[in-house]
């Protein structure tokens, strides 16, 4: 009875991915618990802790000033290190004043939804897309995610142009196109030609370009190209809004640290204002600042991340192949888009969900059905492989066994 | 040109307190920089670092699980420790499931504004009030802070009843009354009789009660009474929403950790949903969890905090007295409400601002003019004294010297 109307509208049933994540967390598989659940449904990077551990567990040189108020959009000393680091990742010179540090890339995206769109307006997203966007854009911000269905899972400028036209025909005001680059859930890396062609459409249509590059440092199969390199040739600086975070490339998903880079002074001003509602602990800022300042350590981490992801990808494809499971070739990220169409009872999303539940209950393996990502074709699943080869092998063997009993 | 309408509405000129805070931070007074600025304008607790330092700078037992996703409304292990700790502070049994951990009490209040109010609806606040509420309730959430001017700085049920009636006469829908208890900026502690009388009015009028108890552990002159003790006698459990945080009582303002306690299952569900946009780093959660788990250490910190605040209060009142400056007697918090009416050129808020600027420019001391807190009588200022006696003495001597040249 206390709830406002908008509060009531935010009551949701919860994401099935999140629920499954915490269900399996209560009874996780390990060599000592061989009947436990294996979670390959959450995009977390489990390959880096041996490198992080010595830093995380060491004594920390926290000063009194570190315990008091900083700029609520990120301490200047942290943004300075971030700018240098992002400059390398994005292949561009980054001004620390253009950075707004907040509690994760979800916060970056929610802030952009508020700053760029009024409620009911639309952001176009290539589809299938990372399910979290529905909350990030659509939750409190009330912005419509309008899907741009891809042609055979390939991003094209045409697909974006068609979606913009459809949204407008449906009476929607379109404000932006948002790319996840590299992409989630399919692990695709966009080359410069593709990015340029898409950006040209976005600019020609008078829209803003949002690019979430949270997997920028996790491209193991193709060179990552940042949208920052399209400025100023294709995109005026003030119309590009870039996101990045420590969750994936650094394996620190629990730290919830994201950063927005925007060169529109007004969007930046609003983002700084809203950053106060999603700030990052100065404690964690100091820790990450000192990590980044150690350039050699950071370079090693990123190099190891790419090498380990490449090996893990090779392993998962091989093991899946042993059970006759095909994948869409991937080049980045912590996951692969696998083809379980042959095992659907019928080509429907009901059958896809039924298969998911059987794999969850019988194989005790959590992967994510394509419907979660608004896939247009039933039977595809996202499988996260950035964990030990043993874990992946055990999980895939269980999946194969359950599938063979179909 | 990229900005949405709501984004444009959020563009603000920035808080004068925040601007002054960072201006003085660039040239701070110290024995080595005797001409620097002294900031007594920011409610930070500088009395505890010697106790915190050994814990902050020690090696930390961070585990792999600590680096990955937790419940976005606070890890279960942290909420368990918080529940035990808050139970002592609030004199009540606290269920960890009723706690939502977010990035500061501003986030707690913004979430409540969204969950309890639709845009344009009102929350009644005893006035003068902590200036941040205008942003917390009014910024993105679009909720009106409706002032309840006090009678001679004393909270009464009548003042609240009058404000509710005025707001309704003005055509506003009132949804809640929000108390800061202990109060900011005047450092008052509310006794049980006062709290009960106010709560009775709030309940009789069918409203929700929000109580921000961020200074609960900083009552040095009177026993703190939590609004939790009014449940269920005066207030049904689901109509009370309590806030607390580590900024004041633990001196960790930079850590930005706040906690909401609500027993309305729907409000809690919305708060959990919105917590994803203001999460706390798992790194910091682990650190604070382990602090709280050390009950002896925490008890010592709280005891020292109260003792040091009491001494600092006694000192500031004495030193102010030496310069003929009166104060409203305070019993809690990091500040005192000082009476500079004798030094106003005329009894207006323009004269108050002029005096503030002169003290800032000539004495190089930053204190906060009452207008910032929507005081109804010009000439009162908030002075924060939770710092070394030397700093306070130097600042007050400078203030006295400038005032004597009026």
Same domain? For A222 and A263 the reply is yes
The last residue of one of the domains, among A294, A310, A327, is A294
Residue of B nearest to A3 (CA): B116
Domain count, chain B: 2
- Rounded to whole angstroms, the Cα distance separating B70 from B68 reads 6
CB contacts < 8 Å between A and B, how many?
236
Q: Which tokens is A113 given? A: 């939804």
Q: Is residue A349 part of a domain?
A: yes
Domain-ending residue, one of B273, B294, B315: B294
Helical pair A49-56 and A295-322, crossing angle rounded to 10 deg: 150
Q: Name every chain A residue with its beta carbon within 8 A of the beta carbon of B276.
A: 104, 106, 135
**CA dist., res. A128 & res. A125, Å (int):** 8
A38 tagged catalytic: no
Number of residues that make up chain A: 406
Is the CB of B357 inside 8 Å of chain A's CB atoms? no
Shared domain for A260 and A175, answered yes or no, is yes
Count of C-beta atoms within a 10 Å radius of residue A10: 20
Q: Give the C-alpha separation, A259 to A96, whole Å.
A: 11
Whether residue A213 sits in one domain with residue A136:
yes
Specify whether A336 is located in the same domain as A359. yes
**Structural domain includes residue B81:** yes
Q: Nearest chain A residue to B270 by CA: give it.
A: A11
Residue from A183, A212, A249, A264 carrying the catalytic annotation: A212
Could you tell me if B120 lies within 8 Å of chain A, comparing CB atoms? no
Query: What dihedral do alpha carbons A69, A70, A74, A80 form, nearest 10°?
Result: -160
State the Cα–Cα distance between residues A261 and A268, nearest whole angstrom: 8
CATH number of B383's domain: 3.90.1150.10
Given A37, A73, A129, A130, which residue is catalytic?
A130
Same domain for B274 and B327, yes or no, is no
**Are A201 and A268 members of one domain?**
yes
A10 reaches B (C-beta below 8 A): yes
Each residue's pLDDT tens digit, B108-124: 999 999 999 999 999 99
Nearest Cβ partner for A270 among B7, B44, B110: B7
Distance between CA atoms of B209 and A163, rounded to whole angstroms? Answer: 47
Test the A interface: residue of B47, B236, B277, B280 with most A CBs within 10 Å: B277
Query: Which residue in the list A73, A248, A313, A338 is annotated as catalytic?
Result: A248
In B, which residues are within 8 Å of A284 by CB distance?
Answer: 281, 283-284
Each of the 406 residues of chain A gets a pLDDT tens digit; together they read 689 999 999 887 666 666 777 778 889 998 899 999 999 999 999 999 999 999 999 999 999 999 999 899 999 999 999 999 999 999 999 999 999 999 999 999 999 999 999 999 999 999 999 989 999 999 999 999 999 999 889 999 999 999 999 999 999 999 999 999 999 999 999 999 999 999 999 999 999 999 999 999 999 999 999 999 999 999 999 999 999 999 999 999 999 999 999 999 999 999 999 999 999 999 999 999 999 999 999 999 999 999 999 999 999 999 999 999 999 999 999 999 999 999 999 999 999 999 999 999 999 999 999 999 999 999 999 999 999 999 999 999 999 999 998 6
ipTM: 0.96
Range of the domain at B264: 61-294
Q: Is residue A56 part of a domain?
A: no
| B294, B323, B346 - which closes a domain | B294
Q: Is residue A152 part of a domain?
A: yes
Query: For A166, phi and psi rounded to 5 degrees?
Result: -60, -45
Longest CA–CA span in chain A (Å) reads 63
Q: Can you tell me the distance from the alpha carbon of A131 to that of A146, in angstroms, rounded to the nearest whole number?
A: 13
How many Cα atoms are found within 13 Å in the side-chain-facing hemisphere of A166? Answer: 14
- Which residues numbered 211-240 in B keep a CB inside 8 Å of some CB on A? 238-239
Same domain, A265 and A316: no
Contact B333, B341 (CB under 8 A): no
B294 as an active site residue: the answer is no
Interface contact flag, B281 A280, Cβ < 8 Å: yes
CB of B210 closer than 8 Å to CB of B137 = no
Is A254 within 8 Å of B282 when comparing Cβ atoms? Answer: yes
Is the domain of B70 the same as that of B162?
Answer: yes
Residue B42 lies in a domain: yes
Is B174 part of a structural domain of the chain? yes
Q: Residue for token digits 């392993």? A: A315
CA distance, residue B198 to nearest chain A CA (Å): 19
A278 falls within a domain? yes
- Asked if B103 and B38 sit in the same domain, the reply is no
Domain shared by B217 and B77, yes or no? yes
DSSP character string of B46-115: -S-HHHHHHHHTS-----GGGGS---TT--HHHHHHHHHHHHHHHTS---GGGEEEESSHHHHHHHHHHH
Residues 309-348 in A contacting B (C-alpha not used; CB under 8 Å): none
Asked if the structure places residue B56 within a domain, the reply is no
Count CB-CB contacts under 10 A for residue B192: 13
Q: Are B141 and B110 in contact (CB under 8 A)?
A: yes
A327 shares a domain with A280: no
Question: Is residue A287 located within the same domain as residue A304?
Answer: no
Strands B240-245 and B258-262: what pairing? antiparallel
């Amino acid at each position: 009875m206390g709830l406002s109307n908008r509060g009531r509208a935010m009551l949701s049933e919860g994401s099935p991915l999140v629920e499954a994540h915490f269900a399996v967390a209560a009874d996780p598989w390990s060599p000592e618990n061989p009947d436990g659940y294996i979670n390959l449904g959450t995009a977390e990077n489990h390959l880096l802790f041996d490198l992080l551990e010595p830093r995380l567990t060491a004594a920390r040189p926290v000063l009194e000033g570190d315990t008091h108020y900083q700029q609520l959009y990120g301490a200047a000393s942290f943004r300075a290190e971030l700018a240098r680091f992002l400059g390398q990742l994005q292949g561009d010179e980054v001004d620390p004043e253009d950075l707004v540090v907040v509690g994760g890339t979800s916060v970056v995206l929610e802030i952009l939804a508020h700053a760029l769109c009024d409620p009911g307006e639309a952001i176009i997203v290539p589809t299938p897309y990372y399910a979290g966007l529905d909350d990030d854009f659509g939750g409190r911000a009330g912005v419509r995610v309008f899907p741009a269905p891809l042609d055979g899972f390939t991003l094209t400028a045409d697909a974006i142009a068609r979606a913009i036209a459809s949204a407008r025909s449906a009476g929607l005001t379109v404000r932006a196109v948002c790319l996840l680059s590299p992409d989630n859930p399919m692990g695709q890396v966009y080359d410069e030609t593709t990015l340029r062609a898409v950006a040209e459409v976005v600019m020609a249509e008078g829209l803003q370009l949002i690019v979430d590059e949270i997997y920028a440092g996790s491209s193991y199969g193709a060179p990552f190209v940042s949208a920052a390199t399209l400025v100023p040739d294709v995109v005026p600086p003030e119309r590009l809004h870039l996101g990045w975070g420590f969750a994936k490339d650094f394996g620190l998903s629990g730290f919830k640290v994201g950063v927005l880079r925007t060169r529109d002074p007004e969007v930046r001003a609003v983002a700084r204002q809203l950053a106060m509602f999603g700030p990052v602990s100065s404690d964690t800022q100091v820790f990450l600042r000192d990590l980044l300042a150690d350039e050699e350590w950071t370079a090693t981490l990123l190099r190891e991340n790419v090498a380990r992801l490449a090996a893990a990808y090779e392993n998962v494809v091989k093991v899946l192949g042993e059970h006759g499971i095909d994948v869409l070739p991937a080049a980045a990220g912590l996951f692969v888009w696998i083809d379980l169409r042959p095992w659907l009872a019928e080509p429907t999303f009901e059958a896809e969900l039924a298969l998911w539940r059987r794999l969850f209950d019988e194989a005790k393996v959590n992967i994510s059905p394509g419907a979660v990502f608004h896939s247009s074709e039933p039977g595809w699943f996202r499988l996260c492989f950035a964990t030990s080869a043993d874990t992946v092998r055990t999980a895939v063997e269980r999946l194969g066994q359950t599938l063979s009993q179909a």
